[in-house]
Amino acid sequence: MAGCLLSAGHGVTLWNRSPGKADGLVAAGGRLAATPRDAAENADAVFAMVADDAASRAVWQGPDGALASIRRNAFAIECSTLSAAHVQQLASAARETGARYIDCPVTGLPDAAAAGTLTLLVGACIDDIEAARPLLEPISSRIFRFGEVGAGTAYKLLINLMGAVQIAGLAEGMALAQRLGLDGETVAEAIVAGTAASPQVVRHAARMARRSFDEPTFTAALRRKDAAYGVELAHAAGLAVPLGEAALSWFDTASRTDPDGCEGKVVDAVLARG
């Protein structure tokens, strides 16, 4: 995402908790900052993409967080998948500094991020989105506005909870196929060609069949985190989500089994539970 902003001609100051990961961006013209506070100083906009609420809180609101130096009317653009409660709290803190908060989770794999073809799921006032459009367009191919701040996160959490259900359902099907002695690759090919297919199913079926879990694009632990935030949001809205809760349970097991592994390894958790 930072590379796309650089390619579009924007000046970009970078901060990463693992500084070496920014070396390529520095070589492309970015400036490496020592802290998020340093990175945000005098910026027109501050983007964040981190794993969870705790990481978001640290980069925005910690002692060296971006909100300590963000200037009035600058955009605070949070692209991470976070809990609904944290987004509202963070948006309030940003507004207290005079910044304009854009709730902007994204969908798309790492190659889409590198190509600038992410889909942005935005919650913000229309005027702020239009003013920020020159910053949002270089990283995206589509921008959906779901409403005011919090609405983008609400959609991201519900769609990711649906995705967790689909992946867990696929894992159960693949585990049953294995228990019945069916050829895994033939099963995966038939599932992808059939009515049960979805982008999540298509993405994971062959990997599950082949046990090809190297170089994951998303971990079981992160999928579990998203599902937990989604279930929390549903409960706050007064809605029971038994399928979502069942998927969360599967990802709890998968995350404990292999916290650093591919989310496709949920099939092994299904097999382990019998």
C-beta of residue 35 within 8 angstroms of C-beta of residue 14: no
- The pairing of strands 106-107 and 100-103 is unpaired
| Domain closes at, from 102, 117, 149 | 149
Number of domains in the chain: 2
- Does 172 share its domain with 187? yes
Which of 21, 156, 225, 265 is flagged as catalytic? 156
Tens of pLDDT along the chain (274 residues) come to 999 999 999 999 999 999 999 999 999 999 999 999 999 999 999 999 999 999 999 999 989 999 999 999 999 999 999 999 999 999 999 999 999 999 999 999 999 999 999 999 999 999 999 999 999 999 999 999 999 999 999 999 999 999 999 999 999 999 999 999 999 999 999 999 999 999 999 999 998 898 877 767 788 889 999 999 999 999 999 999 999 999 999 898 887 765 555 555 555 655 555 5
- Does 133 share its domain with 52? yes
- Does 133 share its domain with 11? yes
| Domain closes at, from 105, 124, 149 | 149
Q: Please give the single-letter amino acid code of residue 88.
A: Q
Give the whole-angstrom CA distance, residue 174 versus residue 176.
Answer: 5
- Does 218 share its domain with 250? yes
Kindly report the CATH number assigned to the domain that includes residue 244: 1.10.1040.10
- Does 140 share its domain with 39? yes
- Does 140 share its domain with 174? no
- Does 143 share its domain with 17? yes
- Does 51 share its domain with 120? yes
Report pLDDT for 212: 78
- Does 29 share its domain with 141? yes
- Does 186 share its domain with 80? no
Which residue segment(s) compose the domain that 240 sits in?
Answer: 154-273
Give the whole-angstrom CA distance, residue 4 versus residue 44.
Answer: 16
| Domain closes at, from 124, 149, 174 | 149
C-beta of residue 44 within 8 angstroms of C-beta of residue 50: no
- Does 121 share its domain with 170? no
Q: Is 156 a catalytic residue?
A: yes
What does the DSSP 8-state code read for residue 262?
B
Give the whole-angstrom CA distance, residue 114 versus residue 94.
Answer: 28
Kindly report the CATH number assigned to the domain that includes residue 34: 3.40.50.720
- Does 145 share its domain with 160? no
Give the whole-angstrom CA distance, residue 249 versus residue 180.
Answer: 24
